[in-house]
C-alpha cells in the first residue's frame, strides 16, 4: 500500500485565544474597580440613592470599551 500524505489541518493560533481572554479579564477588572469605587464613595457620603455607583459603572464600561476598541484597531 502506498501511504497518501494526510492534508494538514490549519493550526489554531493559541496566542490569539490567550490575547482575547486577557482582554476580557481586563474589561472585567476595569468595570469591577469602577463599581467598587463608586460603591465606596456612596457609602462614604451616606447617600440614599447610589448615584456614584451608577456613574462609575457607566464610566468604567465606557473606558473598558474604549480600551478594547483601541486594542482591536491596533491589531
14 within a domain of the structure (yes/no): no
Alpha helices in 2-50 (DSSP H): 14-45
Asked if residue 51 is part of any domain, the answer here is: yes
pLDDT along the chain (75 residues), means of 10: 63 70 90 96 94 96 93 82
Please report the pLDDT score of residue 17 as a whole number.
73
Helix H or strand E segment including 61: helix 51-74
* Position 37 in a domain: yes
Domain boundaries, position 34: 21-74
Say if 6 falls within a structural domain: no
pLDDT of residue 19: 74
Question: How far, in Å, are 18, 25, 33, 47, 49 from residue 39 at the CA level?
Answer: 31, 21, 10, 10, 11
Q: How many domains, the chain?
A: 1
Amino acid at each position: 500500500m502506498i501511504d497518501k500524505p494526510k492534508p494538514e489541518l490549519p493550526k489554531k493560533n493559541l496566542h490569539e485565544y490567550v490575547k482575547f481572554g486577557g482582554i476580557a479579564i481586563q474589561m472585567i477588572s476595569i468595570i469591577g474597580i469602577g463599581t467598587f469605587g463608586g460603591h465606596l464613595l456612596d457609602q462614604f457620603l451616606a447617600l440614599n440613592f447610589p448615584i456614584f455607583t451608577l456613574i462609575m459603572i457607566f464610566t468604567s464600561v465606557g473606558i473598558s470599551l474604549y480600551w478594547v476598541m483601541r486594542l482591536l484597531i491596533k491589531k
